[in-house]
Amino acid sequence: MPLLPIDDVAARVSIPAGALYHYGPYKAKLAADYIGRLPQEKAGKLILVTAISPTPAGEGKTTTTIGLGDALTLMGKKTIICLREPSLGPCFGIKGGATGGGRSQIAPANEINLHFTGDFHAITSANDLLSALIDNHIYWGNALGLDPSRIAWRRSLDMNDRTLRQITLKLDNKGTTREEAFDITVASETMAIFCLARSLKDLEGRLGRVIIGRDKTGDIVTAESLKAAPAMAALLKDALLPNLVQTLEHTPAIVHGGPFANIAHGCNSLVATETALRIADYVVTEAGFGADLGAEKFFDIKCRMGGLEPAAAVIVATVRALKMHGGVAKGDLGREDVRALKAGLPNLRRHIENMLKFGVPVVVAINHFTGDTAAEMDVIEAECRALGVNVHICRHWADGGIGAIALAEDVAAMAESGAARFRPLYADDLPLADKIRVIAGEIYRARDVAFSDKALAGLAAFESAGFGAAPVCMAKTQYSFSADPALLGAPTDFVLPVRDVRLSAGAGFVVALCGDVMTMPGLPRHPAAERIHLDDRGEISGLT
């Protein structure tokens, strides 16, 4: 199906052509004055799509988000899909592109997967401008008295490069050095601020509150002290405008903000979601990786900060992934194996139980593969029925929106029923360590949390500095409820190790680093970049 001009896509949800800044025929940004004129009431129903713990077998969360959005559009619902922008790291690393698959894709896929409208480049530049200003300040005499050994701000790059996890900087010609590190851009505080800011004024204020380090007396020093925030905000002025594209079936999709819910908060921008809720009747969004990471952070960070009230949640699973959680090797997933499926079902069960703790009605979507058998489907349906949750076999990958109609009808009924009674998992006034314990116990089912001395000292310092009410962003492996990626299924009786904590004062949350998770990923032995090519016409292949 050929793509429509972006003006025609916008018109489907009553966005006028004059509200668009065009980036070619199929991409545009929504103008700030248009967003400012929209009704303040967020009348749309917000639907979250999340998933079981990811495996190499694949789950299809983005594909299902797109298929559900297309199905709601086919039902005559005024629908907008809200997705995160792809990061170059996974595009050239393990995962490949992040624009869906089959007939449930957003387009133009290659452009979205690569530079898109330049948002991530702007975020990287703003982040590293602050780094440059910090080192320049030290070079020119260090009037603020910054302690070079206590600089907390880290550089960023939107690429997997393990060699940048720790570097040494030469600050002058006298041999003065300091240790530094890079985060992948999507895990940077600048990205989190970008995703949580509601306006340019809010953006600049948050950037000014960033803690860059401490001075030689131990006092906190912020970006505001360097007069850095206005210039950083200037670099982000256009990037903060949400991006509009379309699905292959022409449902409008706003794609804005960063992924990586294993080490970041993993949601698209608050500006994008709130704008969509002020335009559409239904807004379908996603949160990264499994529900223990992306959905928990969506509820406890984004919804808390944004005052959002989700109406329903969809948990995506595949028969193949559940069999992998049951112990089947990837090469053997094509064969029927009811025993292994039953062994893997506790992973799905735990995610369902967890989502219900937030007071949001849940439905399960089984992303269908051709090798799935009726006996395997019967097992999943029986498990979901026992938990009082509906389950739908979805064929949107092959059939587009029509393949997810039953799911869409169920989601719409739940959303319109008013059954949601959303509540975050923990209270604002709970001590930071106890917030981590609540997440570890209630969501991961850990027996206990083992804090390093460094982590406990950090949490105490954050509370003393007035940040005790902040929510917590857990950084851990996406492959397991635990911090050990090899513990698949639904492990229990484990201890969650918290080795370090970081304060993202501008974003407004505390990051807890669990196990050996890294905020700058590395490339695999055979990265996806090896399979990406240009043909004689300049067309890109392999970026999926």
Residues annotated catalytic, as ranges: 61, 63, 84, 95, 261, 289, 369, 397
Separation CA 162–CA 87 (nearest Å): 16
- Whether residue 151 contacts residue 180, with contact meaning beta carbons closer than 8 Å, is answered with yes
Nearest to 263 by CA among 483, 492, 35, 540: 483
Query: Please, which residues bridge with residue 104 across strands?
Result: 101
User: Could you tell me how many helices (H) and strands (E) the chain has, helices first?
Assistant: 19, 25
- Whether residue 365 contacts residue 67, with contact meaning beta carbons closer than 8 Å, is answered with no
Give the rounded distance of the alpha carbon of 80 from its chain centre: 18
Distances (CA, A) of 86 to 12, 65, 92, 126, 256: 25, 15, 11, 19, 9
The 3-class secondary structure across 30-84, one letter per residue, is ECHHHHHHCCCCCCCEEEEEEECCCCCCCCCHHHHHHHHHHHHHHCCCCEEEEEC
Handedness of CA 351, 356, 362, 363 (dihedral sign): positive
Pairing outcome for strands 390-394 and 362-367: parallel
Handedness of CA 501, 474, 84, 418 (dihedral sign): negative
Find the helix packing angle between 189-196 and 119-139, rounded to 10°.
Answer: 130
- Residue 508 amino acid letter: G
| 254 Cβ contact list (under 8 Å, min separation 6) | 30, 80, 81, 82, 83, 242, 243, 244, 268, 272, 275, 276
In terms of Cβ atoms closer than 10 Å to its own Cβ (0-12, 13-18, 19+), residue 381 is middle
Find the helix packing angle between 229-236 and 119-139, rounded to 10°.
Answer: 160
- Whether residue 247 contacts residue 284, with contact meaning beta carbons closer than 8 Å, is answered with no
Give the rounded distance of the alpha carbon of 94 from its chain centre: 17
CA atoms within 13 Å, Cβ hemisphere of 429: 0
For the chain, how far is it from start to end, CA to CA, in angstroms?
A: 19
Give the phi and the psi of residue 143 in degrees, each rounded to 5.
-60, -25
Dihedral angle at the C-alpha atoms of 157, 163, 166, 170, nearest 10 degrees?
A: -80
Q: Which helix (H) or strand (E) holds 253?
A: strand 252-255
Dihedral angle at the C-alpha atoms of 395, 400, 401, 405, nearest 10 degrees?
A: -20
